[in-house]
């Protein structure tokens, strides 16, 4: 697989990374730990070198799976994980410096490693100055326990403040053909500061693969059951995005998922999407997105068609929308 550098200061990684969350969190169908490890091993064989996890995925079990799977390949892979919640629970943010250090130590053990390649603040904590957060990670970098500092769903003001204390290697936020908010204000700041961008949900939580129809029922415990964008009436309206990708895919002898990923890669050279899957064939399909070449005409045509479609439904329920930092 081709590689990319995450911004000016970040690591060199596979052009498409692997989002590990779904191996133990958020979706109804979860593989056994051993099956998850098989998927990760197959991903390494296919050329993936960038793996994204977090203590709250599970909680804790995701890091344990990733740690066991990647231990034999540790010097060949880049592992990203996250801090920022209280006791590994998604309920309450906690980015106090003492908690950041405690999470780091616990994550190192679960990941079976002596360093974390990319350590993200999972969500901005309004109760802790971002300068203190950056300072705490800076200390961990000095100690060799962390290589790079990242932010997730952070707004412009906090990106700048954090970067002034400890250079930010990457920002992680949602981004895809049907969620393009970061382009407007975030991208110019990332370009100015030399920060890489890691889109999560680059396939729209599965929707942009074309495998989810308006009548699709998700299993018990599946996060998409509470996402407004996945309500039936919104799925019907948003099908226009899938139809657009499918038209391009047919011309390229590719899948809609591959075109969706190729489109993201074509936006900026410092973007590395992290689609997730529990299936080896889907992982291989996603990797193929890095091989799809979209011409300037392709991109123009996609832009023209997409500009006439408005995504329907919020990407998060109201309680989770509040955790997104939009300070400018």
How confident is the model over 215-267, as pLDDT tens digits?
A: 888 998 898 999 999 999 999 999 999 999 999 999 999 999 999 999 999 99
pTM equals 0.97
Provide the pLDDT for residue 320. 80
* Catalytic residue of the set 27, 48, 57, 120: 57
Residue 317 has φ and ψ, to the nearest 5°, of -65, 165
- Listed in sequence order, the residues at least 6 apart from 226 whose beta carbon sits closer than 8 Å to its beta carbon are 317
Would residue 120 show up in a list of annotated catalytic residues for this protein?
no
Residue 201: is its pLDDT beyond 90?
A: yes
Give the domain ranges of the chain: 3-321
The per-residue pLDDT for 107 is 98
Lowest mean pLDDT among 47-51, 57-61, 214-218, 305-309: 214-218
At the fourth CATH level, which superfamily is domain 3-321? NADP-dependent oxidoreductase domain (3.20.20.100)
């Amino acid at each position: 697989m081709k590689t990319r550098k995450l911004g000016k200061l970040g690591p060199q990684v596979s052009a498409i990374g692997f989002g590990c969350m779904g191996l133990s969190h958020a979706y109804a169908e979860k593989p056994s730990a051993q099956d998850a490890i098989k998927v990760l091993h197959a991903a390494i064989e296919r050329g993936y070198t960038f793996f994204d996890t977090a203590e709250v995925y599970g909680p804790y079990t995701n890091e344990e799976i990733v740690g066991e799977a990647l231990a034999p390949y540790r010097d060949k892979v880049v592992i990203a994980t996250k801090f920022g919640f209280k006791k590994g629970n998604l309920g309450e943010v906690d980015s106090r410096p003492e908690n950041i250090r405690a999470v780091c130590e616990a994550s190192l053990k679960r990941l079976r490693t002596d360093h974390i390649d990319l350590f993200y603040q999972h969500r901005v904590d309004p109760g802790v100055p971002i300068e203190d957060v950056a300072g705490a990670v800076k200390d961990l970098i000095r100690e060799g326990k962390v290589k790079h500092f990242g932010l997730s769903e952070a707004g412009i003001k906090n990106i700048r403040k954090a970067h002034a204390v400890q250079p930010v290697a990457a920002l992680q936020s949602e981004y895809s053909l049907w969620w393009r908010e970061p382009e407007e204000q975030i991208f110019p700041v990332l370009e100015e500061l030399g920060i890489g961008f890691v889109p999560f949900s680059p396939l729209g939580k599965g929707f942009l693969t074309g495998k989810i129809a308006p009548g699709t029922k998700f299993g018990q415990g599946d996060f998409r059951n509470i996402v407004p964008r996945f309500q039936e009436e919104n799925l019907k309206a948003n099908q226009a995005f899938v139809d657009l990708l499918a038209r391009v895919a047919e011309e390229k002898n590719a899948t809609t998922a591959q075109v969706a990923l190729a489109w993201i890669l074509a936006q900026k050279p410092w973007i590395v999407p992290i689609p997730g899957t529990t299936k080896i064939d889907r992982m291989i399909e996603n990797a193929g997105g890095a091989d799809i070449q979209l011409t300037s005409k392709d991109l123009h045509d996609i832009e023209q068609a997409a500009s006439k479609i408005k995504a329907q439904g919020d990407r998060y329920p109201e309680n989770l929308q509040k955790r997104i930092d939009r300070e400018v």
